[in-house]
Amino acid sequence: MIAAEDVSWSYGANPVIGGVSVEARPGRVLGLIGPNGSGKTTLLRLLYGALRSRTGRITVDGLPLASSREMARRLAVVVQETGGETALTVGEMVLLGRGPHLSTFQRTGPQDHAIAARCLARVGAAHLGARSFAGLSGGERQRVLIARALAQQATHLLLDEPTNHLDIRYQHEVLGLVRDLGTCSIVVLHDLNLAARYCDDLVLLGAGGVKAAGTVDEVLDPAILEPVYGIGIQRLELGGSIHLLFHPGES
């Protein structure tokens, strides 16, 4: 469980997140949605401690968010800007996920290598193990970073637009994987139809803060979404699942 109460962030004099509260529950996938610049990435960065809110508090399973080995065993993060300059191979990159499970001078052993190999295979990247991470395409990198998060075996997973750079097949495979992990996950998503399919709960951000929070069914309501996105939206329910169609110029 990740609980944020009354968190805020400003870049200089520009307030981006003000008095926001969010709750991500065990075994559920919480999606952060909203237009460009609404603060999704900033909120995610607050939730994994890359930014420190000056107000309120954030807890993971009731413990204050802190940068510790204990927290790293609980919380794994997949963000875009990771490792572009690294000289590591893909296999070494995934092994980094084992770090929080090793004692200070302990080196990775056969069990860690087996876990890393299994995690690479789960994201369809077993064949990339010996390649240089920096030489991969955006989509390949994304899958390797997800494998690293899986190798960390954390109970909470935070991802910033994990489907960016991925083709349609891997968009679905990666989000299906996140869903099947059964972890408490928070994922920033642009694509509302992917959010409809793979999230349980949503927080909709817009200028000035949280515009709506609740289940997918509650938040993906055209009456709520249209004023925030400024576009006409039609909701269809096919085979029990929600699909949104977009009509520019009709909001």
Q: Tell me the window of 34-42, 77-85, 98-106, 242-250 that interacts with ligand ADP (CB under 6 A).
A: 34-42
- Token duo for residue 1: 């469980």
3-state helix, strand, coil in the chain (%, to 5): 35, 30, 35
Residue 51 lies near ligand ADP (rule: CB under 6 A): no
Q: Tell me the window of 32-40, 116-124, 145-153, 213-221 that interacts with ligand ADP (CB under 6 A).
A: 32-40
The single residue among 19, 26, 37, 138 that binds ligand ADP, judged by CB under 6 A, is: 37
Nearer to ligand ADP, 37 or 135 (CB): 37
DSSP state of 145: H
Q: Tell me the window of 36-44, 107-115, 130-138, 240-248 that interacts with ligand ADP (CB under 6 A).
A: 36-44
d(CA 200, CA 118): 27
Helix residue ranges per DSSP H, 124-187: 138-151, 168-181
d(CA 111, CA 203): 38
d(CA 203, CA 102): 35
81, 108, 135, 79 alpha-carbon torsion, rounded to 10°: -20
* Residue 227 C-beta: closest distance to ligand ADP, Å: 17
The single residue among 36, 67, 103, 104 that binds ligand ADP, judged by CB under 6 A, is: 36
The single residue among 7, 24, 31, 40 that binds ligand ADP, judged by CB under 6 A, is: 40
The single residue among 7, 29, 31, 41 that binds ligand ADP, judged by CB under 6 A, is: 41
Helix residue ranges per DSSP H, the chain: 40-47, 69-74, 90-95, 110-122, 138-151, 168-181, 192-198, 216-219, 222-229
* Residue 16 C-beta: closest distance to ligand ADP, Å: 4
* Residue 79 C-beta: closest distance to ligand ADP, Å: 11
DSSP state of 6: E
* Residue 134 C-beta: closest distance to ligand ADP, Å: 23
Residue 13 lies near ligand ADP (rule: CB under 6 A): no
* Residue 135 C-beta: closest distance to ligand ADP, Å: 27
d(CA 145, CA 126): 13
Positions 99 through 138 that interact with ligand ADP (CB under 6 A): none
* Contact residues for ligand ADP, defined by CB under 6 A: 11, 16, 34, 36-42
